Amino acid sequence: MERMTYSPDFEQAWKAYGRVPNQSKVMAAANWDKLKKSNMLPDESAMLGAISSYRSWLADVSRRQGRPFPQCHMATWLSPRQRKFEEWIPPQSPSEAPTAQFVSSWPQDIQDRICQYGVAAELFRAWFAPATFFPGPPPTIQAPSKLCQTFLETKFRRAIDKAISPDVRITVS
């Protein structure tokens, strides 16, 4: 039986994604190829950023629950119909995020409190740094895109409410 060969970019993503019991590398590679052919596959750094964000979230949830949180099979994560990876693509990679905005728009005490309430520092840099914080009243987070706004509302709302205030508005610039 001949061993399958995979594209180098898929192999890199496969290694970064990590081992999940009973997952199919063949199915994941097929979905990868479908996304690539239909131009729905993000560039390599965005995909690796998405994988990193997802794995950080998994680690954080697992730590808080005191047990491993089930990881989605990569074939499902890459499914052209579901495209679960899209919600994990940072709006900007941390290295591209403007440092001045990160430092000036997010006071250190706010950063610390948000991270204290369960947001990993890496996720903070990926999702909060591109947004601008205005202390208010009312306190407002101005997201650079609708995707970022939605992500902050759905994934981080509880941490924002606890760290800053339940009155924080999240808008799009």
- What are the structural domains, with CATH classification, of the chain? 8-88 (no CATH), 99-172 (3.30.300)
Average pLDDT over the chain reads: 82
**What pLDDT shows up at residue 94?**
45
141, 133 contact by CB (below 8 A) = yes
Place of tokens 């009312």: 138
Task: Give counts: helices (H), strands (E), the chain.
Answer: 9, 3
**What pLDDT shows up at residue 69?**
85
Residues near 130 by beta carbon (within 8 Å), at least 6 away in sequence: 91, 92, 97, 101, 143, 144, 148
Mean pLDDT of 72-99: 74
**Has residue 100 got a pLDDT over 60?**
no
Which of residues 63 and 129 earns the better pLDDT score?
Answer: 63
End-to-end CA distance of the chain: 55
CA distances from 34 to 31, 76, 130, 168 (A): 5, 13, 31, 40
pLDDT digits (tens, 9 = 90+) for 150-163: 888 888 888 888 88
**What pLDDT shows up at residue 62?**
87
51, 13 contact by CB (below 8 A) = yes
Mean pLDDT of 30-48: 89
**What pLDDT shows up at residue 81?**
84
**Has residue 97 got a pLDDT over 50?**
no
**What pLDDT shows up at residue 29?**
95
**What pLDDT shows up at residue 78?**
92
**What pLDDT shows up at residue 93?**
44
Highest average pLDDT, of 2-6, 75-79, 119-123, comes from 75-79
Question: Can you give the C-alpha Rg of the chain in angstroms?
Answer: 18
